[in-house]
């Protein structure tokens, strides 16, 4: 009866423990998380003091941008994976303790075994015991698989390469953020300048529209002439409103890239006195190609991927080798029936799957295919990078010509507007013509600003395609002002054509990759040396 009750109770507890009830997140928890997030956004962003220039905007973006922080955390996770794999190279040291109790003794009888059969158990067998009803055991066992150590070492080297790949991807994100901020900054500058001029022009057009309606009501002009006049004014207002809507989002987009909370008030340095100087590109095309092939994060990543593929081949070969396990342990059993209650043991075991011999040929062919694939990916990436370098230079030249054309167009439109203003003062032209020419001048100024933003964007893209790092390696420890000064100094040096060439230009790209790898995998190599 007791056993049935115990079994039924155990089943009820097991069934109730496996029952899962969906539990929705409460609104209070969501609200608390939202409040914490809003507080975090305010605390993390650097305080805005004074006007923000292009260098300041880039410095704030690389420090506060959420995508940049996400990539930095991914790099930290890869570094953590290296530490974990290093621990896998250590032997397994297991400590265990146990206690057992029986309701009665484990008594047993023995009989003779003759001619392949045991003798029958007698009517009054003699029982014996060799174990207490209560037992306590303790042991400390060390085991080490030599093959697993070799595989763990190879995996550690692979994770070291993946960590360096994550750092290269972090570099790529930094390059993209820098490029995005450059374009967004000049769009925001253009928007700030033009929005100040759109408002008065909208008011002027609205006033002229009201006057035209009064003229229509008083029948001072023919109805069709008044309606045509109003339609043209409404077209102007619609164009101005659409232009205002397009420009209103530019500053908010820039604030998002800089990691500023939406609604943060800040001023841009180039709004009051914009400098439309044309940036000069003094770098030779051959130099651009060489720098790009040595520095682009995508290409450096292919070298690491190639080494990871080679390590996969070594790991596959290691798996086909015999496995050697070494064991050692100390044990204790408090049974009174044991002569030696504590003892130690040593052992070794070799195991080998003989069918792995048939996999050698397939593994070799797969290894060659894997390495050929990695090499082809590297060549394809190199060709794509070279294409991007040429396209970036072509786009820079084209955008420079477009800016020159837009600037000359603005000059002509401004002179036409001046002539229209003078004619309006002398009552030789209508107010509609004056408003229309003001709109044309405003649109010409917008096209000039857009062309200049595109010129700046294409100029910055030239250096991005070369893989030039705008920030120092230890930029995280610098303040916004220090970073802005560093960025401004590098901008000036690059424009003069003074490009600091890395060691990779003087040596082969593969040797440079090996040098970068040495520091990231030094800890793994040291651990492997200690184990040896």
What is the tens place of the pLDDT at every residue in 339-380? Answer: 888 999 998 888 888 787 787 788 788 888 888 888 888 889
Using alpha carbons, list the distances in angstroms from residue 44 to 31, 47, 253, 324, 486: 20, 9, 18, 53, 22
**Axis crossing angle, helix 146-218 with helix 509-520, rounded to the nearest 10:** 110
pLDDT value of residue 399: 92
C-alpha atoms less than 13 angstroms from C-alpha of 172 in its C-beta half-sphere? 15
User: Residue 330: which H helix or E strand, with range?
Assistant: strand 323-333
pLDDT of residue 403: 92
Decide if 182 is inside a domain.
Answer: yes
Question: What mean pLDDT do residues 256-261 have?
Answer: 82
Task: Check residues 76 and 16 and name the one with the higher pLDDT.
Answer: 76
Q: Higher confidence at residue 489 or residue 30?
A: 489
Is residue 335 situated within a structural domain?
yes
Nearest to 258 by CA among 185, 192, 191, 189: 185
Top-ranked range on mean pLDDT: pick from 6-10, 88-92, 219-223: 88-92
Q: Give yes or no for a contact between 285 and 393, defined as CB atoms under 8 angstroms apart.
A: yes
User: What mean pLDDT is reported for the chain?
Assistant: 79
pLDDT at 476: 73
- Interval 95-121: pLDDT, tens: 888 888 888 888 888 888 888 888 888
- As a three-state string, the secondary structure of 165-193 is HHHHHHHHHHHHHHHHHHHHHHHHHHHHH
Q: What does the pLDDT read at residue 7?
A: 66
**CATH number of the domain residue 417 falls in:** 1.20.1600.10
Give the integer Cα–Cα distance in Å for 230 and 216.
10
Q: Is residue 421 part of a domain?
A: yes
Question: What is the distance between the alpha carbons of residues 215 and 234, in angstroms, rounded to a whole number?
Answer: 16
Contact predicate 75/166, CB 8 Å: yes
What is the 8-class DSSP label of residue 98? Answer: E
Q: What number of other Cβ atoms are within 10 A of residue 136's Cβ?
A: 14
Q: Which of 202-211, 460-469, 522-531 has the lowest mean pLDDT?
A: 522-531
| 394-432 pLDDT per residue, tens | 999 999 999 999 999 999 988 988 888 888 787 777 776
Q: Is 139 left (phi over 0), alpha (psi -120 to 50) or beta?
A: beta
Residue 31, domain member (yes or no): no
Residue 503: predicted pLDDT: 42
Residues 410 and 418: their CA atoms lie apart, in Å, by 12
pLDDT greater than 50 at residue 512: no
Question: What is the H or E stretch that residue 161 is in?
Answer: helix 146-218
Q: What is the CA radius of gyration of the chain?
A: 39
pLDDT of amino acid 20 = 57
> Which is nearest to 180 in space by CA: 268, 68, 263, 291?
68
Between 95 and 511, the higher pLDDT residue: 95
Rounded CA-CA distance 521/514 in Å is 10
- Tally Cβ neighbours within 10 Å of residue 301: 23
Greater confidence (19 vs 61) lies with 61
pLDDT band for 29, please (50, 70, 90 cuts): confident
Distance CA 494, CA 500 (A): 9
> Is residue 68 within 8 Å of residue 111, measured between CB atoms?
no
d(CA 237, CA 202): 6
Nearest CA to 190 among 136, 148, 143, 248?
248
CA nearest to 181, candidates 254, 267, 259? 254
More confident residue, 327 or 41: 327
Residue 410 belongs to domain spanning: 50-98+133-531
Phi, psi of 86 (to 5 degrees): -60, -40
264, part of any domain: yes
Residue 113 pairs with which residues in a beta bridge? 118
pLDDT of res. 22: 72
Please give the backbone phi and psi of residue 246, each rounded to the nearest 5 degrees, phi first.
Answer: -70, -35
Q: Examine the pLDDT at 526 and tell me if it is beyond 50.
A: no
CB < 8 Å & 24+ apart, contacts of 74-81: 74/166, 74/169, 74/170, 75/163, 75/166, 75/167, 75/169, 75/170, 77/166, 78/159, 78/162, 78/163, 78/165, 78/166, 79/163, 81/159, 81/162, 81/163
Residue 522 host element (H or E): helix 522-531
* Distance, CA of 150 to CA of 146 (rounded, Å): 6
**What pLDDT, on the 0 to 100 scale, is given for residue 359?**
78
For 271, other C-beta atoms within 10 Å of its C-beta total 16
How many domains is the chain built from? 1
123 located within any domain: no
Residue 525 pLDDT class (50, 70, 90 cuts)? very low
Highest mean pLDDT: which of 330-334, 480-484, 488-492?
330-334
* 113 occurs within a structural domain: no
What number is the average pLDDT over the span 443-461? 87
What one-character-per-residue DSSP string does 377-406 give?
A: HHHHHHHHHHHHHHHHHHHHHHHHHHHHHH
Highest mean predicted confidence (pLDDT) among 187-191, 250-254, 256-260, 387-391: 387-391
Question: Among residues of the chain, what percentage have pLDDT more than 90?
Answer: 8
Residue 168 lies in a domain: yes
Does this model's pTM top 0.85? My answer is: no
Provide the sign of the torsion angle of the four alpha carbons 363, 369, 370, 371, taken in this order. Answer: positive
> How many angstroms separate the CA atoms of 454 and 450, rounded?
6
Confidence of residue 391 (pLDDT cuts 50, 70, 90): very high
| Per-residue model confidence (pLDDT) at position 324 | 83
Q: How far apart are CA 140 and CA 124, in angstroms?
A: 43
């Amino acid at each position: 009866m007791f056993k049935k009750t115990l079994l039924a109770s155990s089943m009820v507890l097991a069934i109730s423990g496996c029952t899962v009830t969906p539990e929705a997140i409460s609104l209070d928890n969501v609200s608390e998380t939202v409040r914490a997030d809003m507080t975090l956004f305010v605390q993390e962003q650097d305080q805005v003091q004074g006007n923000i220039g292009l260098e300041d905007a880039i410095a704030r973006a690389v420090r506060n941008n959420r995508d940049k922080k996400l990539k930095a955390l991914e790099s930290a996770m890869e570094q953590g994976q290296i530490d974990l794999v290093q621990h896998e190279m250590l032997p397994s040291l297991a400590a265990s303790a146990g206690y057992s109790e029986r309701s009665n003794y484990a008594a047993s009888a023995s009989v003779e075994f003759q001619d392949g059969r045991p003798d029958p158990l007698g009517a009054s067998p003699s029982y014996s015991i060799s174990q207490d009803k209560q037992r306590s055991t303790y042991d400390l066992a060390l085991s080490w698989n030599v093959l697993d150590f070799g595989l763990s070492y190879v995996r550690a080297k692979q994770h070291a390469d993946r960590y360096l790949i994550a750092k290269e991807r972090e570099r790529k994100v930094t390059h993209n953020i820098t490029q995005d901020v450059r374009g967004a900054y000049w769009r925001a500058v253009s928007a700030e300048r033009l929005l100040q001029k759109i408002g008065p022009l909208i008011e002027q057009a609205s006033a002229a529209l009201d006057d035209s309606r009064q003229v229509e009501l008083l029948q001072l002009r023919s109805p069709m002439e008044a309606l045509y006049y109003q339609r043209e004014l409404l077209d102007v207002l619609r164009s101005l409103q659409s232009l205002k809507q397009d420009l209103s989002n530019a500053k908010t987009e820039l604030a998002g890239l800089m990691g500023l909370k939406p609604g943060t008030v800040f001023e841009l340095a180039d709004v009051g006195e914009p400098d439309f100087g044309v940036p000069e590109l003094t770098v030779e095309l051959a130099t651009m190609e060489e720098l790009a092939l040595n520095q682009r994060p995508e290409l450096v990543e292919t070298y690491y991927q190639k080494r990871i593929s080679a390590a996969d081949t070594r790991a596959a070969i290691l798996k086909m080798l015999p496995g050697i396990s070494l064991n050692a342990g100390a044990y204790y059993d408090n049974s009174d029936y044991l002569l030696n209650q504590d003892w130690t043991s040593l052992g070794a075991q070799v195991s080998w799957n003989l069918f792995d011999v048939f996999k050698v040929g397939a593994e070799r062919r797969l290894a060659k295919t894997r390495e050929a694939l990695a090499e082809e990916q590297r060549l394809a990436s190199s060709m794509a990078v070279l294409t991007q370098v040429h396209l970036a230079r072509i786009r820079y030249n084209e955008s420079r010509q477009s800016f020159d054309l837009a600037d000359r167009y603005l000059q002509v439109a401004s002179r036409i507007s001046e002539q229209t203003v003078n004619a309006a003062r002398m009552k030789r032209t209508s107010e509609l013509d004056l408003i229309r020419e003001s709109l044309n001048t405003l649109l010409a100024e917008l096209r000039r600003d857009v062309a200049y933003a595109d010129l700046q964007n294409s100029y910055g893209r030239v250096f991005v395609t070369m893989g030039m790092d705008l920030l120092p390696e230890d930029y995280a420890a610098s303040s916004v002002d220090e970073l802005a000064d560093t960025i401004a100094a590098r901008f000036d040096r690059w424009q003069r054509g003074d490009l600091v060439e890395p060691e990779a230009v003087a040596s082969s790209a593969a040797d440079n990759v090996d040098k970068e790898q040495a520091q990231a995998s030094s800890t793994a190599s040291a651990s492997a040396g200690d184990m040896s």
